Amino acid sequence: MNTSAQDSAPSDSATRPYMVESTVGGADRVPLWFMRQAGRSLPEYKRAREGTTMLESCLMPDLAAEITMQPVRRYGVDAAIFFSDIVVPLYAAGVGVDIKPGIGPVMDAPIRSLEAVRALPVLEAEQIDPVAKAVSKVRGELDDSVSLIGFAGAPFTLASYLVEGGPSRNHEHTKALMYSEPEVWDELMSSLASMTTHFLKAQIAAGADAIQLFDSWVGALDRADFERFVAPYSREVLSTPEIAAVPRTYFGVGTGELLSSISQLGVSTVGVDWRVPLDVAQTRVEGGKVLQGNLDPALLLADPDVLTAKVSEILDAGQRAINAGATGHVFNLGHGVLPDTNPDALARVVDTVHAFRSSRAY
């Protein structure tokens, strides 16, 4: 793929240490960022977004860059995550989709047939020029010590939105298609893997130092189905040379049964939700991975002392995971920041995590 971003802003990530390198090789600091750190919990975000829809704002380079920078300025986190949405590549490619407040992404028409799959547009480089421009702008503004993580939805979660037509509790149409029409499923997932690959490559070419694949809803599957119907496509994305060249994190909610499989997708970091303590997660993943997580975002609504105690527990579990072979711990939430979160609670977490001193002799 050839995007203008490749010409305009070649990545110099090779010269910058990725944040997690600070936790390996004896360094003593646990880096952190927060999933959905940019967004509705920040008053400066609400002001910046006024008069613009979510999807419009993702394709306005200056605005997307500003929103990406806001939590870095406010919290001093160790990474920026590029402000986007899982359906942005679909929207950019011309698929009929809108994000409805309080609901989530809603498709004009669900995609459930071979014809509908084949009618999906291919994502063209120029359609995500605004994304590349925004990434490049953010990378230019960030300190070298702060990593910029590229953002994309994983093929399964994208497929679920397309097949269900919107957010779903049970993903029943997605599963019915997967089980009953595996050829249609495979073609859909191939298209989405290709789209996701282009979307990530453009961000890396524009300056992203690392990427995270959000497979938010993949925890709805058991392990056998994950291996058969999902893993090949996520692996295809992650093994693309330009993507395999940067640190790669995979995250989904409720993935306790899938952690072993996820760790074998060609990732460097495994995101863990709050249900599985990090030291337990370490017993499930392939060796030599960084673990990322895993504060329950609901804890941010609890009392400060309760929150701080839980953060400390997670830091301790992360150390036990490192002592058992994990190559690092990136502190994060176990899912995205909830809209009602008080930013002061996140600031408190940053203080607690940055005050913590990691030790291999733990």
Interface with its own copies by CB under 8 A: which range of 20-28, 155-163, 203-211, 253-261? 253-261
Task: Give the dihedral sign, CA 354/142/199/45.
Answer: positive
Task: Please indicate if the annotation marks 320 as binding a ligand.
Answer: no
Tell me: does residue 284 bind its own copies (CB under 8 A): no
Query: DSSP alpha helices (H): ranges in 239-303?
Result: 241-244, 259-263, 278-282
Q: Does 354 bind its own copies (CB under 8 A)?
A: no
Residue 61 binds its own copies, judged by CB under 8 A: no
Token pair listed for 295: 């504060």
User: Is residue 159 within 8 Å of 215, Cβ to Cβ?
Assistant: no
- Counting contacts by CB under 8 A, is residue 335 touching its own copies? yes
- CB 146 to its own copies: min, Å: 29
Q: Give the strands of the sheet with 79-81, arranged side by side.
A: 79-81, 147-153, 210-214, 248-251, 269-271, 290-295, 328-333
Is position 171 annotated in a ligand binding site? no
Q: Determine whether the annotation assigns residue 144 to a binding site.
A: no
Least distance in angstroms from the C-beta of 29 to its own copies = 26
Identify the sign of the CA torsion 124, 80, 232, 275: negative
Q: Which is nearer to its own copies, 74 or 335 (CB)?
A: 335
Min separation Cβ 298 and its own copies, Å: 4
From the CB of 349, what's the least distance to its own copies, in Å? 14
Among 274, 311, 327, 358, the residue binding its own copies under the rule CB under 8 A is 274
| DSSP string covering 205-254 | HTT-SEEEEE-TTGGGS-HHHIIIIIHHHHHHHHTSHHHHTS-EEEE-SS
Q: Return d(Cα 152, Cα 200) in angstroms, integer.
A: 7
Catalytic residues, which ones?
Answer: 36, 40, 49, 85, 161
- Name the 3-class secondary structure at 142: coil
Q: Which of 21, 44, 124, 296 binds its own copies (CB under 8 A)?
A: 296
Question: What Å distances lie between residue 270 and 33, 139, 219, 273, CA to CA?
Answer: 14, 24, 14, 10
Instruction: Determine if residue 216 is labeled as part of a ligand binding site.
Output: yes
Q: Does the annotation place 37 within a ligand binding site?
A: yes
For its own copies, give the closer residue by CB, 201 or 335: 335
The two tokens of residue 191 are 């298209």
Nearer to its own copies, 179 or 362 (CB): 179
DSSP-derived letter for residue 290 is: E
Q: Report CA Rg, the chain.
A: 19
Residue 306 binds its own copies, judged by CB under 8 A? yes
Adjacent-strand bridge partners of 290: 269, 328
Question: Is residue 85 marked as binding?
Answer: yes
What residues between 146 and 175 interact with its own copies by CB under 8 A? 170-173, 175
Told to check if 219 binds its own copies by CB under 8 A, we report: yes
Q: Contact letters (x/-) for its own copies, 103-132, by CB under 8 A?
A: ------------------------------
| Annotated binding-site ranges | 36-40, 85, 161, 216, 335
| Annotated binding-site ranges for substrate | 36-40, 85, 161, 216, 335
Residues that bind its own copies (CB under 8 A): 170-173, 175-176, 179-180, 219, 221-222, 254, 256-257, 274-277, 296-299, 301-303, 306, 335, 338, 340
